[in-house]
Every structure is written in structure tokens, then in C-alpha cells.
Structure 1
Amino acid sequence: MKNAIKWSSIALAVAMGNGLLVSQATAAVENNEGFIESSSATLSNRTVYFSRDFRSPGVTQSKREETATGFVLNFESGYSRGPIGLGFDTIAMLGIKLDSEQEDAGTGLLPSSFGDTGPSNYSEIRGAVKAHIVQDTILRYGVHLPSNPVIAYDDARLLPNHYNGYSITNESIDGLFVEAGRMNDRGEMNDSSEVDGAFIPNEKVTYLGGTYAFSNDLSASLYTSDAENLWKRHFLGGTYNLALANDMSLVTDLAHYKTSDESAPGSDFDNDATSLALTLGAGHHAFGVAYQRMGGDAGFAYFDGGIFLANSVQYLDFNAKDERSYQARYDYDFAGLGIPGLAFMTRYITSDNIDAAPAVRDSRWERDTNISYTVQQGALEGVNVLWRNATIRQDDTLDGGDVDENRLIVSYTWDLL
């Protein structure tokens, strides 16, 4: 998942305002508010200009550039009263092409590709039924937007991708969240069709895991999964927030993946991936560093947003075989200068030791800058404007070669219920 290490101590995190997560909160059930009384509905809009300029010589397509706007209507019912509460959720999505040319198509915003701009719009409606049973346990069947280290929806373009399947969650023990499920089909971010095995045919994902908060400052996560005909993957992560003097804090995020070929005989997915991120918060400033390392016989392969590593950033994941990467990051909240709603982030990631070919070790780097502003008052209150810039320099054989990328995103969410 891009930027999946949450850097949770940073109050500067950019709010996309999309309201797309299908919530599984149990508060309404505990308060016995009922099916209608605790229902909610939001309508989110996101307009995206996306430009990716390929700088390496000899590329077939030198640039991808498109603009589109998308709407997501998300309805979540409450639960019926009684020992077993029943409810349903619905998510409806619409993507509309604003600008796309055949020679520049293929940004991922639209169902288009180089030489084909595709349809002018795409849409879909998905739903799920859910049940609340004893001890804060929720059963769900239908559409899912999972967000955990081994399977996670991706919302990096116009509309989120999603899964169809079934799951169970439990929060009956204070501080402990446990979940399990099986996702069978995946809908893409830029297509109204549902893909059966989008990465490799017949791909299904079964997962089990959870997070435990030992205190307000220390939490740990443990997950395991089996992607049918692909790999078995395990994850261990932890976050610790250390309060320092003068209202400063130091947050440590550790993430480790172990991936094996056990479910895919003859395949090469064997990988150990580890990242460690440190973030020093000092008032309206935050300073971060991170180290990430790949081991095993292959790089870290994934098919959705399930890459919760510190150096998985805007364009690159720094996940090639044997790759070692290093990050420096700075955030600033302009509320410190009397401009609430304005936030700035910049980071630089460099790597080495990539196993590019026998006896050949390669390197690469990426530099990202984000500027975000949320209107604080007036007729446009709540509108968020985000500019994301990335510069990537690497060998032509690695992930598209040299790239310059810009994304301009304007978003807003209406609370309907």
C-alpha cells in the first residue's frame, strides 16, 4: 500500500476527505440505536489531473496524461434490534472522463490504454449484508474495502478498487481487534468489471490476523494469508510512541513480511521484507528517517495495496530483489504560521544493492513533494486541494525508467445522513 506505514504521530497527514472505508464500527449496536437511526450516507467527489512523463530514451509512450472526476456514494445501515442485528451497506461509484487522448491514455484513472481512450464514463454498484452477533462480532458478505497488511484496497487513482467475499471481525476484548476472511474477486480502480484473479487467474486470498494495543503508546499487529496459486505471506508489525520533553515525541514503526512459495509450486516469490521508520514530532514539525531491506530469492510481489512498508511511496516501492533503501522525510503544518489547513511534506528515498542481473548491482532514487490545503470556512469549507509531485531516476530496465510525475487532486465529501 502506498505510504502504508501510517506515520501515525504526524498531525500533518494529508486528509483526502474521501470517506470511502466501509466502516465496521459497533458503537451503534452497543447503543441499540436501531437500523434506521444509526444509518449514514456520504457522497464523495474527487477530480484528478494525472501526468506521468517518461524521460528514458526509446520508450514507446513518452507521456500519460488524463483528467477525470469521480463520485462515490457510500450508504451504511445500522443494525436491527435483537440478539442478532442485521444490516446492509451499499457503495455506488461513477467515473467520468474529462480529458483523454489516445497517445496519452493509460494513467489508471480511466479504462483506457495507449492508443485507446476507452469509454467516457464507467460505474458500478456493490452491496454487502452484515450481521452483529454476541460479543461485538460482525459477519459480512459482499463488497469489502479491506485495509490490513496482507490484503488492502487501493485508492491511489480516481475510485477505490474493492473485493467481494466474506469476513468476520471481533472487538470484544478491550484493545484487541481480530479479523478473518476470504476475498474471491477484485474490482479494479479504473474499470466497472469485476476481475476474477486480477493478478493471476483464479487468485483467491484467505487471511487471519489482528492488532492489539498494549497501551495508548504501544501496539502490535500479526497477520497471515494464503493467496491461492501464488504465495503464503505473514506479517509482523509494531508501533511505539515515546513522549519526550518539550512536547516532542518519537514514533517507531516496524514492519516485517515473510513470503513463501508454498502455495505456488515452481514459482519464485520467496522474500523477506523489513522496514523501520522513526518520526520525531516537534510542534508543527516532523522529521522522519526510514530503512528498508529486501531478502530472499525474489523481490516483494503484491497485487493490491497490501504493502505496509515505510519506503512504499508515490511511485516506487523499493521492493526489488536484495534492494536496500533509505528515506529522509520532513513535514510541516502551517497552522504554526497561522494558516490552518495548509500542510507540506517532502521526502527523498535512495537505494542500492538491487540484483538487476548476474554480478550486476543497481541503484535508484525518488523524491516526492506534497502540498495540501483544506478550505477552513466559507462556501468552499471542507474542499481539499492536493498537489503531489514525484521525480524518479533509475535504470531503464527498472519500473519504467526515469519518470517525472504530477497529480493535482481536488476532493470534497458531503454528509447526507
Structure 2
Amino acid sequence: MHALTRRTLTFVLAAGSTPFALASAQSESNGFVADSSLGVLLRNAYYNRDFKDGAADAKTWGQGFIGTFESGFTQGTVGFGVDAYGLLGIKLDSGRGRNYGAFFDTDSDGRPVDELSEAGAAVKLRISNTVIKYGNQFPSLPVLAYDDSRLLPQAFTGTLVTSNEIEGLALNVGRFTADSPMGDPARDPNRLKSIDVIGGDYQVTDNLSVALYRSDVEDTFEKLYANANYTIPLSAEQALNFDFNIYRTDYDDGAEAALDFGGDGNNDQNTIWSLAAKYSIGAHAFIVAHQRSSGDAGYAYDYGDGGSSIYLANSYYSDFNLKDERSWQGSYELDFATYGIPGLSYKFAYVRGDNIDTGAASDGTEREIFNQIKYVVQNGSAKDLSLSLRNSIYRADNTVGPDLNEIRAFVEYPLSIL
């Protein structure tokens, strides 16, 4: 086992003897079979990216089947278990020149494949409230987060230790050596060398939580992340929330230049942060946010650390994460439960970024209008069936990016088999 993993495991086991330790989850195990679950998520997804600058549009429609099995743990001081998954994606509509690669890989003729499939498994053991898992899995950490925003999810292969020995504190440490991206059944087509992650989340009080993480993608970059989230209850139906996120990335020599993020390839770095303030009153919520990127290059992710490793306020279609970019957001959320339609929600956002260093004589700008409506069936035979429709209208100038309108439509239905 990696030395960092051994040291962290020793610490979290020792923490189990502190006065703040939680009751042992392992001592309450009902067994491998009794605590097992088996389910299939049916996902129908449609993407339409309508480029306005002459580029070929991307239009893809597919049906996904995401099967997951999670065993319980055997009884005893040390519990053993197995997790497994199976993925199947079937093309319903697409074609050469308009395929979206995050849905379906292409064949030698440049046509999207008719279907793709993948399977994986991981073994796990639990001591007290600490779980060690090795194999194919879906990590969800600020510095290593699998992408599940298309038809089939991304997966990683490696070891992850998760500990909840101290009340309110979750610790994570891991090492991953392979990445299976969305739309590609290959186990490691990007040839990830390794990514080491360590960090944790702590619920300080009912209203305050903090997080701190570090990662190292071999020969690419090292990254630090911190978060503070604070809620001020104002009344029974009113609250004010502040959410602060920050990343600092130090690129290895030449890495950010190869990733086309605007650096000069000489050990460049980036710092990006966002602060969002959210005022909730009954069914309504109003959000304002500011995000700022600084340093020698823009903020890069999805190069070994997953497509969702960007826990920042202004991340929609665009992430507003380019070199020296400053962006502002105004958004609105509505929960229709107050008006007699539980499960129905709506969100609108407008984000504008400027001061982008494009290398040209003048700075670049970008802006996005985002709309999303979602409904989740609350009861009956179709309970938990969800339907979501989102639209982004994106415009940019001075070589920042192509103008486009995007539509994403998802229909998801989880089936519980066991």
C-alpha cells in the first residue's frame, strides 16, 4: 500500500478512540447479502450544440443503462465487500460530422459507434468507520471528481480510503492510476500515470462547514483546494448563505502550454476563487457571485482529475476559468412545491466574464444565459422519474470561444432490484 495511505489509515484508526468518535458502523453490519443493493438507472439523453461561427453542430441522442451493485460488509472486526457496475450506451441518433464524442466514440471512418459497454468492480474492507476500496470506482472529491453529466459516467481505477471516525469529519486519501472517460469503453485511453489525493470535510457547526484537499497529477500539475460554507438563518423561511471556493494549481514544466491554457510552459501557476451569496425566502432564492482567475495561466481540469473537478460558482456551459478572467453572476431559483407542485424546480442564471488575456491587443469577454427546468415524480408507480431540460446561450469575442446555443434534455428512471 502507498506510504501516504498507510499513514492516513493509522491516523484515522487511532482517531476512533477519541471522545468525539462515532459508533462503529462495522459493528452494526447485517452481512454481505443483507445490506446489499442492486439497481439500474435508465438514462435517455439528448445533446444539441448549435454553433454560430460556422463550426459543425453536435447533435447526439442516446439511451444509457447504468447498473450498480453494492454489497454489504461481512460481519466481524474487519468486514469485506464488493462493488460492481455495468454500463451500456445505445445510439439512437447521430452521425459523422455531428457526433458528440462525450456520448459515443467514433470508428475508423469517423462515425459514432452504435453502442458501447463497460464493466468494473472494486473490493472493499471496513474497520470501524473506515472503508478502504480498491478497483474501479466513481470518486467525488473537489480535486478528483468523475463526470456523470453526459450519457454514461466516467470511472477511475485505484485505491480510496474514506474515514468517518470523528463526528463531523470525513477524511479521504487515495491513489488512482487509470481513467475510463465518458463515451469510451477503454480502461485508460488517456494513459493517466497517477493522481494522489488527500483531504477532508469538517462540519464545524450546523451552519458552518470547511474543506481542504490536495492532489498531484503526475507530470501535469499539483492542486490545492479550500472551501468555507456558512448559513445564517434569518427566520423560519429565510436564510442567507455564503459559499467560498478556491483552487491553486502549480503546473509542471510545459504542462499548461500543452493543455493550451495560456501559460509559457515554465512552471506556471493559477489561482482561481469564487464567492457566492444566496438569499432564500420561501420558494425563492436569489444568488450573486464573483469569480476571479489570476496567475500565469488559466485553470485546467479534466486532465487526470475528472471532468467535474471544478467546484466554483460560475460553472455552467462555460466555466469562466480563463487566464486573468473576472466574472459576475446573477441567478434565480424557484421551488414550485410551495405552489402545489412538489418536485418541480427552475433556475435562471446570467454570467459575464471579462479581462481575459487572449494574447491579443485587447482583452476578451464571454457571457452566458442559462435556463433549466426539472421535475421529479414524487409518488406512484413512476416515483423518482426525473425530467430535465436546460439551455445555454453562449457568446464570446476576441478569440475566446465559438458562439453557440446548447440544449440538454435528460429523462432518468432508477429501478431498485435488490
Q: TM-score, normalised to structure 2's length?
A: 0.88
2:14 aligned residue: none
Counterpart of 2:217 (choices 209, 213, 227) is 227
- In the superposition, relative to structure 1, how do residues 379 and 139 fare at CA in structure 2: closer, same or farther (>3 Å)? closer
Deviation at 1:101, TM superposition (A): 1.8
Residues 246-277 of structure 1: CA deviation (Å, up to 9, x unaligned): 52001111011111135768455510001001
Work out the CA distance in 1 between the residues paired with 2:52 and 2:109. Answer: 20
1:179 aligned residue: 172
Matched, 1:33 2:22: no
Deviation at 1:415, TM superposition (A): 1.2
Work out the CA distance in 2 between the residues paired with 1:263 and 1:140. Answer: 33
1:46 aligned residue: 43
Counterpart of 1:390 (choices 386, 389, 392) is 392
| 8 Å CA contact 2:25, 2:129 repeated in 1 | no
Residues 18-56 of structure 1: CA deviation (Å, up to 9, x unaligned): xxxxxxxx9863412111111111110110111000001
Work out the CA distance in 1 between the residues paired with 2:270 and 2:108. Answer: 33
Work out the CA distance in 1 between the residues paired with 2:81 and 2:192. Answer: 30
Q: Which 10-residue stretch deviates more, 238-247 or 297-306?
A: 238-247
Deviation at 1:202, TM superposition (A): 4.3
Deviation at 1:137, TM superposition (A): 1.3
2:16 aligned residue: none
Deviation at 1:65, TM superposition (A): 0.6
Work out the CA distance in 1 between the residues paired with 2:343 and 2:246. Answer: 34
1:76 aligned residue: 70
Counterpart of 1:139 (choices 116, 132, 135) is 132
Deviation at 1:382, TM superposition (A): 2.3
Work out the CA distance in 1 between the residues paired with 2:193 and 2:280. Answer: 41
Code of the residue aligned with 1:332 in structure 2: it is L
CA RMSD of aligned residues (A): 1.9
Identity %: 36
Deviation at 1:203, TM superposition (A): 3.5
Q: Where has structure 1 moved over 4 Å in runs of 4 or more?
A: 262-269
2:411 aligned residue: 410
Work out the CA distance in 1 between the residues paired with 2:61 and 2:48. Answer: 9
Work out the CA distance in 2 between the residues paired with 1:275 and 1:212. Answer: 20
- In the superposition, relative to structure 1, how do residues 264 and 207 fare at CA in structure 2: closer, same or farther (>3 Å)? farther
Counterpart of 2:154 (choices 155, 158, 161) is 161
Point out where structure 2 has 5 or more consecutive residues left out of the alignment. 1-22, 256-264
Work out the CA distance in 2 between the residues paired with 1:161 and 1:384. Answer: 21
Task: Give secondary structure in 2 for the equivalent of 1:335.
Answer: helix
Q: TM-score, normalised to structure 1's length?
A: 0.88
Task: Give secondary structure in 2 for the equivalent of 1:195.
Answer: coil
| 8 Å CA contact 1:106, 1:114 repeated in 2 | no
- In the superposition, relative to structure 1, how do residues 273 and 114 fare at CA in structure 2: closer, same or farther (>3 Å)? farther
Task: Give secondary structure in 1 for the equivalent of 2:26.
Answer: helix
Counterpart of 1:255 (choices 232, 239, 245) is 245
Aligned residues: 383
Residues 105-143 of structure 1: CA deviation (Å, up to 9, x unaligned): 12521113897332211111100000112x411111001
Work out the CA distance in 2 between the residues paired with 1:176 and 1:35. Answer: 26
2:311 aligned residue: 308
| 8 Å CA contact 1:230, 1:261 repeated in 2 | yes
Does 1 or 2 have the higher relative contact order (CA < 8 Å, sep 6+)? Answer: 1
Please list, as runs of the form range in 1=range in 2, the aligned pairs for 1:194-343 lying within 5 A after superposition. Answer: 194-196=187-189, 198=190, 201-262=191-252, 266-267=265-266, 269-303=268-302, 304=306, 305-313=308-316, 315-343=317-345
Deviation at 1:338, TM superposition (A): 1.1
Code of the residue aligned with 1:228 in structure 2: it is E
Point out where structure 1 has 5 or more consecutive residues left out of the alignment. 1-25
Q: Which 10-residue stretch deviates more, 333-342 or 266-275?
A: 266-275
- In the superposition, relative to structure 1, how do residues 327 and 32 fare at CA in structure 2: closer, same or farther (>3 Å)? same
Residues 76-97 of structure 1: CA deviation (Å, up to 9, x unaligned): 0011111111101001110000
Work out the CA distance in 2 between the residues paired with 1:275 and 1:113. Answer: 41
Work out the CA distance in 2 between the residues paired with 1:410 and 1:28. Answer: 35
